[in-house]
Amino acid sequence: MTEMVYGAAPDRGGEPILPRWWRTVDKLSMTCVLLLFVVGLLLGLASSPPLAARNGFDAFHYVQRQAVFGSAALVAMFLTSMMSPVLVRRLATIGFLGAFIALALLPFFGTDFGKGAVRWFSLGFASVQPSEFLKPGFVVVAAWLIAASQEINGPPGKTWSFSLCVAIVLMLAMQPDFGQACLVLFSWGVMYFVAGAPMLLLVCMAGLVVLAGTVAYSSSEHFARRIDGFLSPDVDPTTQLGYATNAIREGGLFGVGVGEGQVKWSLPDAHTDFIIAVAAEEYGLILVLVIIALYTVVVVRSLLRLIRERDPFIRLAGTGLACVFGVQAMINMGVAVRLLPAKGMTLPFVSYGGSSLIAGGIALGMLLALTRTRPQGQISDLLRGRGR
């Protein structure tokens, strides 16, 4: 009866997993992610040899590691994208609990690698950044709680999810890692807004964020130094922002040529936080616009598919994952052109980094799993039915 009323599509029972996955997954978004990874390898070939030489490694040491981490990320993405929403929720819950515990242990067992922020566990052969794995897990768990609160006699999921959000933000601010803290708070705010939060509450939250930023500026030298550098009318040409700004200016429309860029010899983070500066200098504005277009396609395509989704949990979790993916890319590129203060945030699937790549693969796999077409009517069908 439900299918007759809401126009549900027939389910092809007994269809093998791979054909069903290929038929229902968003192939255009998946292709864009693969292209971003290829662009990341291409830029790694240009940006990482100077760093490898300084550290006494083979010229393509970091490119080879990025290829290994990226391959693992793609495998994780493909496997996760084959999961049902229930399995995605279970995986996210387990991952969130593990990452939350790891984040709480960072002050005792973590390291800063000389960067002034304790964000990593050093394993000797590699390092792990728990906050990268925490983000997708938190988004899905928070979406689950918020969706459950909308049910009749449901739990106070909005309050629980907000409490989790505050606890995570405080732990990240103690590292300090204000960039990841802002992403976590933003993801919760987006999902709460989609779930029907009153605008006055969101305005009050924005005011609290400004107040917290003011307190952080007065109490954290690390935070204040980055804000002062961003607000300064003059850019010190010997700083990372100065080098990145000059590289983008020199690149122009078509770039100075493959391998001819100079910023990679000056920037210690040319292969991670400022890799877009390498792209702009050597390949010009053309490649930067291509990269922006790839991120835009993934985010917009995902949101358009989620608009038609009737399950509140899927709609909220997918929206949170898509928005975090897009905003992280926007923040990384915004820092390079001085639209935002320095955050120490990677460009998803393009920057070098094992934790960032693998966690990004899991997050995109969850997003692809949640945006797969399913045997159900669209939400517009239900709305039209109510209007009759």
Residue 47 domain boundaries? 36-375
**Domain annotation covers residue 55:** yes
The proportion of the chain whose per-residue pLDDT surpasses 70, expressed as a percent, equals: 90
What values do phi and psi take at 111, rounded to 5?
-140, 160
What values do phi and psi take at 120, rounded to 5?
-125, 155
Predicted pLDDT at 385: 52
Give the number of domains in the chain: 1
**Domain annotation covers residue 132:** yes
Rounded Cα gap, residues 251 and 199, in angstroms? 42
Query: Predicted confidence band at 9 (pLDDT cuts at 50, 70, 90)?
Result: very low
Q: What would the pLDDT profile of 127-136 be if each residue is shown by its tens digit?
A: 899 999 999 9
**Domain annotation covers residue 124:** yes
Nearest to 80 by CA among 122, 159, 25, 35: 25
Q: What would the pLDDT profile of 333-363 be if each residue is shown by its tens digit?
A: 998 888 887 777 889 999 988 899 999 999 9
Q: What would the pLDDT profile of 147-162 be if each residue is shown by its tens digit?
A: 999 888 889 999 999 9
1-14 burial: b if 16+ Cβ within 10 Å, else e: eeeeeeeeeeeeee
Predicted pLDDT at 7: 41
**Domain annotation covers residue 387:** no
Rounded Cα gap, residues 302 and 361, in angstroms? 15
Look at strands 121-122 and 127-128 and give their pairing: antiparallel
Helix-, strand-, coil-residue percentages of the chain, each rounded to 5: 70, 0, 30
**Domain annotation covers residue 26:** no
* 3-state SS, residue 169: helix
**Domain annotation covers residue 179:** yes
Rounded Cα gap, residues 220 and 198, in angstroms? 33
**Domain annotation covers residue 45:** yes
Predicted pLDDT at 1: 37
**Domain annotation covers residue 319:** yes
